[in-house]
Amino acid sequence: MVQKILNKLIGGKYIAIVRAWVPNMVAWGTVGGVALVHFTDWRLFLDYVPYIKGKFTKDE
């Protein structure tokens, strides 16, 4: 059903191109996410991970 609609709107050629590029885009997105966490304040991101959140409590 969805395949037929996409073939009418986009075309089979472009669907094949997107399918070939999806793993590459996922890999680069993962690398970008890891780089973002690495080069920014990593505690800002890790505070949302439930297991790690308790390890970095602020002693005030």
The pLDDT confidence band at residue 2, using thresholds 50, 70 and 90, is confident
pLDDT tens-place string over residues 26-60:
999 999 988 988 888 777 777 777 766 566 666 55
Handedness of CA 44, 47, 48, 49 (dihedral sign): positive
Domain that holds residue 11: 2-56
Which residue type occupies 53? K
Instruction: Please tell me the total count of domains within the chain.
Output: 1
Task: Quote the distance between the C-alpha of residue 56 and its chain's center.
Answer: 25
